[in-house]
Amino acid sequence: MVNRQSGSNPHFTLTPLTLHIGARIDDIDLCMPLSTGALQQLREALVKWKVIFFQQQSLDHAAHVAFARQLGEPTIGHAVFGHDDNFPEIYSVAKHRTANSADSQRVQRPWTGWHTDITAAVNPPSASILRGVDIPPYGGDTFWTNLAVAYNGLSETLRAFLDTLNGVHRFKLPASVEPAQDYVRDVQSRYMESVHPLVTVHPESAEKLLYVSPYFLTRIEGLAARESDVLLEMLWEHVVRPEYTVRYKWQPGDVAVWDNRATAHLAPADIFESDFDRQLYRVTLVGEKLKGVDGRESRAISGEPILSAQDELQLRKSV
């Protein structure tokens, strides 16, 4: 029987939110530099709980970036959809941003909109740090799911088969470009398409992860189109089972940090059915190529890796 209670340590208090994913971190101020011990324990909590939440923080853009730098090297805000002019590490997660402009054209399924950040890149971000600023009084929550628990929830026979497979990831262009011209322009200006193992191994925990980001994964290599479609739909439905997920109700000032190697997430479309605004800001951390259970690595079909904000800006200046 699993018994996971809230607990204190010298640096903060941790309270699990569900059995498998999500924990709230209290008694810590993210505006202040964190000690080596606190950072180590935060990293351990992140690997274990996959997404951790901090409430009533007072971060602005500068403090947001400073906190992110303590966890890793920030990328450019968004390699495809842009960044803040004054803080290139910051990406505006606004209600009506370009990245959402093609969503209305997508066929709605239980897994529609679920994604792991930018798996079209050969080195998807290792983690994301999202802070809430303008939050509606209701609606606009976010879900995360645990890809390690999802993998373990499959039969041994199916897991052994999936261990051998690779998936092709890219931004999916809408059927009609008219309502989403900016989306198509941005995707094509930094086109990325990559192959990742369908089952990856977490570099810190050694957990096996069912790496099947619905928004980006288009097909499974080596299978016929029908075989690939049916298998992917079964896996996508599986990874978003409610018992693998946590749903978070945002408040202004809240911060969520998630392990982008081990989760997928979803912002439900209910916010578009209301007049409420919703504004969050995100920083992502530079990631590495992923590895499968046999050691094979991700490979790029098209496009360059996502670099640090500084390197991306320098590269763009030289073009």
Q: What is the CATH number of the domain that holds 77?
A: 3.60.130.10
135 neighbors 250 (Cβ within 8 angstroms): yes
Q: How far apart are CA 61 and CA 86, in angstroms?
A: 9
Residue 297 lies in a domain: yes
Question: In this predicted structure, what is the pLDDT of residue 175?
Answer: 65
Residue 265 lies in a domain: yes
Q: Which domain holds residue 51?
A: 8-318
Question: In this predicted structure, what is the pLDDT of residue 172?
Answer: 81
Beta strands in the chain (DSSP E): 7-8, 13-16, 23-26, 51-54, 91-94, 127-134, 142-146, 166-170, 193-197, 199-201, 208-210, 217-220, 245-248, 255-259, 263-266, 279-285, 299-302
pLDDT tens for the chain, 319 residues: list them. 333 445 556 789 999 999 999 999 999 999 999 999 999 999 999 999 999 999 999 999 999 999 999 999 999 999 998 999 999 999 999 987 655 656 655 677 888 999 999 999 999 999 999 999 999 999 999 999 999 999 999 999 999 999 999 999 999 876 665 657 888 888 888 999 999 999 999 999 999 999 999 999 999 999 999 999 999 999 999 999 999 999 999 999 999 999 999 999 998 788 888 889 999 999 999 999 999 999 999 999 999 999 999 999 998 877 6
* Cα→Cα distances 174→212, 220, 277, Å: 20, 20, 25
201 neighbors 293 (Cβ within 8 angstroms): yes
Residue 204 lies in a domain: yes
Domain count, the chain: 1
Residue 111 lies in a domain: yes
Reference 269, options 81, 50, 110; nearest CA is: 110
* Cα→Cα distances 256→159, 261, 265, Å: 30, 15, 12
Decide: helix, strand or coil at residue 280: strand
Residue 106 lies in a domain: yes
Question: In this predicted structure, what is the pLDDT of residue 2?
Answer: 37
> Got the DSSP string for 43-102?
HHHHHHHSEEEE-S----HHHHHHHHHHHS-BB-SBTTTB--SS-TT-EEEETT-GGGTT
Residue 2 lies in a domain: no
Structure tokens at 102: 């093609």
Residue 3 lies in a domain: no
Q: What is the pTM of this model?
A: 0.93
210 neighbors 147 (Cβ within 8 angstroms): yes
Contacts of 293 (CB under 8 A, 6+ apart): 163, 197, 199, 201, 208
CA torsion sign for 56, 60, 63, 66 is: positive
Residue 3 CB neighbour total at 10 angstroms: 4
Question: In this predicted structure, what is the pLDDT of residue 4?
Answer: 44
Residue 42 lies in a domain: yes
Contacts of 274 (CB under 8 A, 6+ apart): 136, 139
